[in-house]
Structures are given as C-alpha cells and as structure tokens.
Chain A
Amino acid sequence: MAVKAYLRPKSPSEALALIEGDERAALIGGGAYLRLASRGYETAVDLCDAGLDRVRVEDGALRLGAMVTYRRLETDLVVRDCSGGLLGRCVENIVGVQVRNIVTVGGTVAGRYAFANLTTALLALGADVVLARGGRKPLEQFLADKAPARDVLVEVVVPTAVRRSAWRDLTRVRSDFAVLNVAAVDVGGEVRVAVGARPGVARLARGAMQAAAAGDARGAGEAAAAELDFGDDLRASADYRRRVCGALVTRALEEVLA
C-alpha cells in the first residue's frame, strides 16, 4: 500500500477526526518508526503543525506535548529540573542527535514500544497520558490496554516532586536498544521502580518498591528479578535478563536511597 495523501492537521482534534473514521490513516510523530513499519497506511497525518510541541509546568506537573523531541528532553532546563535529569539521561544515548531531533514523546508512548527507555522512565515517574478522545489516564493503565481505540496522544503529564532518580540500562554497543532498562525514582517520598526491555513493555516492580521503601536495595533487586517476566530475544536470553535485573535494580536503588 503506497501512501497517497499527506495531511497536516492544525490541532489534535482535527487529527483525531482524520484518523477516527479511516483505518488507512496513520499519525506521524517523529516518523522514524513509522517509516520502518511495513507501509500499511494510505494517509499520513503529520502532527508537526498540531501545536503539540510545548513543554510547560502547570499545577505542579510537567506537561510534555506529544511532539516534544528527545533532544528537547536532554537540553530543556525545565525538563531537566523537573525530572532530576532522568528524562534526558534515559534517552541521551539513543542513536545520535539526528534521530533524537526527530523522535517524539508521543510517538514513543503511543507506540507502546517494549524497548523504549522513555516509557520505563515515565512509568517510574508515575506519569499520566492525555488522549484527545480518551482523556487523562495513568500511563500504567494506558500500557496495559489490550485493545486501544484509535486516538491521538496529546501530552504526557509528569509529577515534578522528584527528589532523586537513577537510570540504569545495559546495551551492546552504546547506541543500541537496551537488553534491560531500569528507572528508579523517589517522587515525593515514594520510591518507584520500573523495568523495561525484558523484552516486554515496561512494568513497575512493586515487590522491589516495597523492599525499597524499607531501604533494602539488595532485597529489591532480588524481588524485581523474581516478580517480573523475562523473555529471550536477539539481544539476550531470559535467564541473563533475570540475572542482571537484580544487579541493575539494586544499583539504581542504591543511588536513589543514598
């Protein structure tokens, strides 16, 4: 199927109207990933003019427009201050600046990519997503949605009460997809841990969070390795992932709890 039309809606609602009734229409955020997918769409709905590239702090929360790029997460001082640097750190090694100049928060989150570092970090931070139709919901719930409706992700809302944060990932070459990624944060006194690229989509490690609440980083690592599911893929085996999960979670928590 060749792409027959290219449209640039001026708002999320206009974008929603374009995709809602049309199975062959696809949203373009950064477009980096879409182009790789088998081109199963006829109408490209590019969000670049939909006014979604804003970063603002409102009601004690950081609101990241869907079209905010990774590079912005790295360089924007507001983002850095609000997330304790976590949002920049989790993406700073992804490919190169060229790619990070185009790939977006919205494309990553909406794509529900299992490998996505950013999703792991946002999950640990306790972010919510705001959808043009579906409204606001916790990211955790959004990721768990088995049959998501066609919708436009408008923004991601991140709590700003981040006291400490830590990022750990394991890659082959530096710019590669993670074999496993771990984000740990202390948000307003609550320690939260998320683990992604297992290779399943990011999940909170609740057992680990409990152990962390008791200040036990080692126990948290063991809990995470025991409670999460791990699988094999090109990059590593389930067994290896489980073994290093403990180490990475422990190290991340040692940093957060210190």
Chain B
Amino acid sequence: MKRSGDMREVGRSLPKIDALGLVRGTPAFTDDLAPREALCVVAVRSPHAHARILSIDATAALAMPGVLAVFTWKDVPRVAVTRAGQGHPEPSPRDRFILDEYVRHVGDEAAIVAAETEEQAREAARAVRVEYEALPPVLDFEAALDNPVVLHPEPEIHENFPIGFEPRRNVASAYNMHVGDVDAVVARSEVVLRRRYYTQAQQHVALEPHCACTWLDVHGRLNVISSTQTPWHVRRIMARALEREVKEIRVVKPRIGGGFGGKQMLHGELYCALATLRTGRPAKMVYTRREVFEATNTRHPMRLDVTLGADRDGTLRAIDLEILSDTGAYGEHALTVFMVAGAKTLPLYNKVEAVRFGGRTVYTNHLPGGAFRGYGAIQGNFALESALDELAGELGLDPIVLREKNMIAEGETSPIFAIMGEGTEGVEMIVESCKLPECIRRGKELIGWDAKGPRREVAPGVFRGLGMALAMQGSGIPTIDMAAATLKLNDFGSFNLLIGATDLGTGSDTILAQIAAETLGVSTGDIIVYASDTDRTPFDTGAYASSTTYVSGHAVRTAALKMREEILVEGARSLGCEPARATFDGCEVRGPAGAITLRDLSAKLLYNEHQKQLMTTGSHLCEKSPPPYMAAFAEVEVDAGTGEVKLVDYVAVVDCGQAINPNLALVQVEGGLAQGIGMALWEEVVYGPQGHLRTRDLMSYKIPGREDLPSIRAELVASHEPSGPFGAKSVGEIGIDTPPAAIANAVAAAVGARVRDLPVTPEKVLNALVLA
C-alpha cells in the first residue's frame, strides 16, 4: 500500500464536496426536500413521567379544519421493536411499540395527529383529550433496581440474545467480566484508591432538529427521507414495526444537519409512515427544538465506582470499574454504551495484573438514553482518568509519569479486546499503531506543562491549573460493521461512487471520494458521490461507532481496486495486448505499442467497441477495531471567590492513523472537544421533581458558543495503521472523550477542588473548595 509521501489525493485537505452548495443555502435537508403538499404530523405528548392511558377522545380534534387522522396505540401493530438503529439482531431490548398504552417519560408519544398544516396539526394535538392514570415514576436511577414500580411489565417485550434483560427488576441489561483476581490483587497493592463518579445526561443538539418525510411512489412503495445516521436500520426496523416487507420501503438520507449519535435512533419515521399509509398522502414530521429535548435521547447518565490498586512506585496493578447506567424509559443502546465505558477505556492501562468490569443499566422515567459520540467511553474516561490523577496525587507522582508507566504501547495487546465487544464478545487484537508517547510529548510542549507547573496564582484569589487525560476509542465494531461501495465508469472518464455510508456533515462523502480517487489514480473531482439510499446504493450499517473511514473506506478501496483491474482488461483489449503487459496510471492505459486515455476508453466502451458498463462493488467487514489515541491538556483559571472556571487553553494531540483529509480530521477533533467541553462544564439535562424536563430549549440547556471556548489547538501526529485504508483509523468520536477528566483534573490542580460529578459547575467547585 502507498505511503503518505507518494499519495496525491489522500492526505490532502481538499474542500468538502458539498461545501458551497450548503453555504449558499441550497435546499438539501429533509425539511427542504419534503413535498410541498405533505401533511404535517405532530405528536400528542405525555405530560406525565409515567402513566397509563385510560382513554383517548379524538372527536374534537378530528372535527377541526384540516385534520385527517389521529392515531392511538389501538390503531398500530402490536410489535415490540427497539428504535436503537443498530445491526440485526439488535443488542438492545425490543421494549417499545409505535404507540403504547403506557407513557414512560414526559414527552413520550401518546397519540399522533396528521393535518394539512403544522398549525392545524398542533391545534388539533392540543384538542385530543387523553385521560391518564398517573403512575408513580421512578426518577432516581440508584433506586430503580427492584423498585416496586416496574416500567416494563408488558409481555411482548424481549431481548434478541442474552444481554441480561430483566424487565421485572427494571434492568435493561447487565454484564460482568474479569481477568485475574481483582480482590486479591487489590488486597496486595500498596496503595488502594476507591472513588465514585457521576456523569450527567447530555443532549446532542444537532442544529437541525429531527425530521422525516414519507410518501408513496408510483409503485405504491413507501419512500422515506429522513435525517438519519442509519438508513438501512431504519428501513429494517420500520418494516418490522409496520408489519411490512423490507422490500416495500425505501429510505434516503439527504444532507443532515449534525447527528452525533442522536440520529442513529428512529424518531419521526414511523409516525409519518402511519399517516402516509393511512391517507395515501405525503407526510412530514419536523421536531420543534422543544420536542428534540423532550422526546429524543440523551447520553446515558452513569454512576461509576472505580477501584485502583497500585504500588508506591506507580505500578498500576488492578482496576475495578463498576457502573450503574440510567437508560431512561427505553433500553436503546443500554448494554453497548455501558460496555464501551469499560471496553474503550480499560485497555489503555493494559499492564495490570487484574481487571474487572461490570454492572447494569436500569430503567427510569427519564428520557431514553441513546447513542452519543463517545458512546460510554467519555463516561468511563471521566472516571478512570480522574481516578488516575487522584492516585498520582496520593503517590506524589506527576500524573503524566504515572500514565506513561502504565499505558499501552505499540505491539502490545489487552485481554479486554477479545473479551468485550459491543454487546457480544470482542476480537483479539495486537495494537499495530499507538503514538501515545508522541501525543504526550507534543501536548506537553504545546501547553507548557513543564514550564508552567501544575498551579499558579495569576491574580489575588485567581489560580491557573493544568490537567490532562489520555483517551482511546475504536474504529468500527469488529465482525459486525459492514459497508459496501460501488463504482461505475461513465463516458468521458468520470466515476459514480455509490456508497451506503452516511455523511452527517462530517465530510465522509468527500473522504470516501478521496480514497476512490487515490486508488484509481484519478482526481477527486472526477468522482461523483451518491450516498445513503437503500434502493440505489449498496448497504452500509451506518455512521456510528467511528466506522465510516475505516470500514466504508476499505469498501471503497476494494471497489476501486477492482475497477482498476477492469479498466486494465478493457484498455488492454482495446490496445490489443495482454492485460498483464498494460499499465494504468489514472490517465491512460498504456501497452507495449501505444496508449488509450481513460476518457477515450470510457466513451468507446459505452458507444463504440465491446460495449459494456464497467461497474465494480467492494464490501468490507470490519475485522478488528484499531483504537485511535489521544493526549489532551487543559489549562483553567479558577476564581476562588466564585468557583468560576474559565478554560483558557485546550490542547489535543491525536493519533488517528493516516488522516485521509487532515483538515476534516482536525475539525472532527475540534468539534468533539467542543462537545466534550460542553459536557465538562455546562451541559446538563435537568428534571423537576415530577420528572418534567427543565431544560427544554436552548435558553435553559446551554451549549458552548464561540466566546466560551478557548482557541482549541488540535494536532495530528504521524501514524499509520496497517489494517486501515491507506493507514487510516477513526477520528469521529475520540475528540469528545477527554475534556471532562482533563478539565476536572486541571481544576483540582488549580485550587484543590476535586469535582466528581459532572458538570463541573462554579457551585460545585466552590463547595469542593470549602471542603478542601
């Protein structure tokens, strides 16, 4: 495989292929594309955190102008599904129906209204009379296990394979594993640190709210355009929920305005489909921002108990991580997010003699948890990387020295790779690329670690502190994630690249075009990308688990290698020579006695000689999941009088293998960091005492603006992952993982206030200061 030096398209910061169109505001998002005559679909949402629906009277609503239909749980198939948007069969419990007799969080759908205009639909939704029997809610996830109130008594729900599902105990999933005898090793350790940490619910806040539209085409097939990360899973789950055949449904993902995991799950698709199937009319459902807050998913809040056993010299001997995760009303991603909290953190310190991980996820009457960039790793990272700093403090060691002594290195492995996958077993893996030492060295230099020292008073009562954290993630889900790509040669030398991969705004369409171009030897401008259409492009599991570059990229490369072969064969035929004696440089096929340009050859192939369509498909199954790594450094300024924390600098150095497009890789890191910083300092889903959401708009739920963030400095280190396309690993998620721990560590360094529950608010800092 080529190395970076001699590559022409890969490794270049080419502009995103859709950049100009989007900046100009070209209609490209779901709501822009929905048919003008589409009915508007609106949900009647539960005002209760937990209730049984006694009756629904839609008479008044149905009599209102423009109203075409009202659906209740009695009108929909009684098929248990999960809306998680994962592979088949899903590792999440099938614990949900299109509509149900029970509502399990404030904002849960009680009924669905379809009307001519949005205003009419909203008015009608207000006029639907729902009589509820309010049930006691479970709002404290630490009291959910074996609570007398059971959220999911319904008999139809089930797990697809063993995931520890015990709905009668309010348990959505459970998992335990260990290597070695943790208790014994801890008992023998010279220093033992036990700490409890909490991470909060965070919301994705993709700026484009969730949106879907549906219509019946000329063949009577249900067409869906959806702002989704997982078109194939949406199609499959819709078919199941609606009791249709997969072949009757087509799902298309247009441009989407950010996802971050929040659009891996299904939201409006099923409701639009109901309206379209019932009325024959196109329908659309555009979530309001409030609905996005009240009726989609959050990051799973967790309680994490960490025990570290170490020797005085800083040798880490045992890690024990026990987690209780709150999956809210439904078990979407319950098991897998929780497992990743261990699977993508613990291998960082692979030299321990014993390691244990376990716990469960429980149901509560909160918003359902779901996939969210970082996917458990950020929660685990906060706990583990905070605990390591606390341990370093006890040992009187520089936190970096402690990490360097214990961290994983190239050529090594961790038993956890084989034991823990996502919902299933993992695969054994030797780490072939790990540039953590370089990341640390460079990061220290950029932040001025040695020069500044951990703590300085910069004004009376104002202290600066430095903190850091390491992180790892994965690149796709091994043995599960699969992607395919097709290349089609057009007359006069351009190619259509048809991919199932879903670009959420990340630029993956561009990156995959670069991979195709590099492999073919042509320029990226000659690749016309069409993506994410279940009818017209090959399959892809979707954009999640940091899989697109690594997995879909491989598929594209395979398709392109095959295309090269075919071009050689056809070129040689045209030149009258053996294919083995011909070469193709992207521009022309050259034989011993002459050459033909791709331009001419492609035109001939369609119009003049041996006419045929060249079309090749590559598919790729992810066989291992090489982690990207990163070292991150935060500098904070803490006002000891108010507890205010100002993040003054953030440095992140990342090993993501060969960056296919360095600019796009860096902005992934930058964006991930911004979200991680948001989680570290400000973002928090807050409920009232009855389970009502108190953060349901962008005035109460604050995401960082441009004045809240320092000039984040992200860099990539040179790295090459042998198993990746052109040496690439993933970069989409890892950026988010470090800020909670790095910032909490920096605050502790600055003023001695250790905050163990996120977010690190001024109030908590001040309280910790008083205690310290």
Contact = CB atoms under 8 A, between A and B. Distances in A.
Please determine if A and B sit in direct contact within the complex, based on CB atoms under 8 angstroms apart: yes
Interface of A: 2, 93, 96, 170, 172-177, 179, 234, 236-237, 240, 243-244, 247-248, 251
A177 B708 contact: no
Contacts of B681: 172
Interface in B660-711: 681-682, 686, 694-695, 699-700, 702-705, 707-708
Q: Which 6 A-B pairs have the closest CB atoms?
A: A247-B641, A240-B763, A173-B702, A174-B707, A173-B708, A244-B642
A174 B123 contact: no
B61 to A, nearest CB: 16
B766 A243 contact: yes
Contacts of A247: 641-642
A172 B682 contact: yes
B762 A177 contact: no
Nearest to B644: A170
Nearest to B640: A247
B574 interface: no
Nearest to A240: B763
Contacts of B723: none
A182 to B, nearest CB: 12
A176 B702 contact: yes
Interface string B697-736: 0011011110110000000000000000000000000000
Nearest to A236: B763
Interface residues of B, number: 23
Q: Most chain-A Cβ atoms within 10 A of its Cβ — which of B694, B695, B763? A: B763
B761 interface: yes
14 contacts: A2-B119, A93-B707, A96-B705, A170-B642, A170-B644, A173-B704, A174-B705, A174-B708, A175-B702, A236-B761, A240-B766, A244-B643, A244-B766, A248-B642
B707 A234 contact: no
Contact of B694 (A176, A179, A234, A243): A234
Nearest to A247: B641
Contact of B761 (A2, A172, A176): A172
A173 B682 CA distance: 7
Interface in B725-757: none
A2 B64 CA distance: 14
A234 B686 contact: yes
Interface string B643-654: 110000000000
A96 B761 CA distance: 23
Nearest to A248: B642
A173 B705 contact: yes
Given A173-B682, A174-B707, A244 B641 contact: yes
Contacts of B702: 172-173, 175-176
Contacts of A2: 119, 123
B48 to A, nearest CB: 19
Interface string B392-428: 0000000000000000000000000000000000000
Contacts of B641: 244, 247, 251
A228 to B, nearest CB: 17
Interface string B4-16: 0000000000000
Contacts of A96: 705
Contacts of A175: 702, 705, 707
A171 B699 CA distance: 12
A241 to B, nearest CB: 9
Given A170-B762, A174-B708, A244-B766, 4 more contacts: A173-B708, A179-B762, A234-B695, A240-B766
B53 to A, nearest CB: 24
Contacts of B762: 170, 179, 236, 240, 244
Q: Most chain-B Cβ atoms within 10 A of its Cβ — which of A96, A172, A234, A251? A: A172
Contacts of B699: 176-177
B10 to A, nearest CB: 38
Contacts of B761: 172, 236
A239 to B, nearest CB: 8
A236 B682 CA distance: 12
A10 B700 CA distance: 36
Contacts of B643: 240, 244
Contacts of A176: 699, 702
Contacts of A173: 682, 702-705, 708
A94 B563 CA distance: 56
Nearest to B700: A234
B476 to A, nearest CB: 34
A119 B705 CA distance: 25
A173 B707 CA distance: 8
B160 to A, nearest CB: 39
A93 B644 CA distance: 17
Interface string B88-127: 0000000000000000000000000000000100010000
A168 to B, nearest CB: 10
A243 B699 CA distance: 25
A82 B641 CA distance: 32
A247 B462 CA distance: 13
Nearest to B694: A234
A145 B45 CA distance: 37
Contacts of A174: 705, 707-708
A243 B642 CA distance: 8
A175 B700 CA distance: 11
A18 B691 CA distance: 41
Nearest to A233: B694
Contacts of A179: 762
Interface in B591-645: 641-644
A102 to B, nearest CB: 15
A174 B707 CA distance: 7
Contacts of A234: 686, 694-695, 700
A243 B765 CA distance: 13
Contacts of B694: 234
A175 B644 CA distance: 15
B409 to A, nearest CB: 39
A101 B667 CA distance: 31
Contacts of A172: 681-682, 702, 761
Nearest to A250: B641
A77 to B, nearest CB: 24
Q: Most chain-B Cβ atoms within 10 A of its Cβ — which of A170, A173, A176, A236? A: A173
Nearest to B770: A243
A103 to B, nearest CB: 13
A247 B643 CA distance: 11
A96 B708 CA distance: 13
Nearest to A96: B705
A236 B641 CA distance: 15
Interface string B71-102: 00000000000000000000000000000000
A94 B682 CA distance: 17
A127 B705 CA distance: 33
Contacts of A248: 642
A169 to B, nearest CB: 11
Nearest to B688: A234
Nearest to B695: A234
A174 B681 CA distance: 12
A252 to B, nearest CB: 13
A172 B701 CA distance: 10
Contacts of B123: 2
A96 B706 CA distance: 11
B42 to A, nearest CB: 15
A24 B700 CA distance: 28
Contacts of A237: 763
A237 B686 CA distance: 14
A41 to B, nearest CB: 16
A234 B695 CA distance: 8
A220 B306 CA distance: 45
A93 B702 CA distance: 14
A96 B702 CA distance: 14
A176 B699 CA distance: 7
Nearest to B678: A173
Q: Most chain-B Cβ atoms within 10 A of its Cβ — which of A2, A175, A177? A: A175
A176 B761 CA distance: 14
A251 B462 CA distance: 13
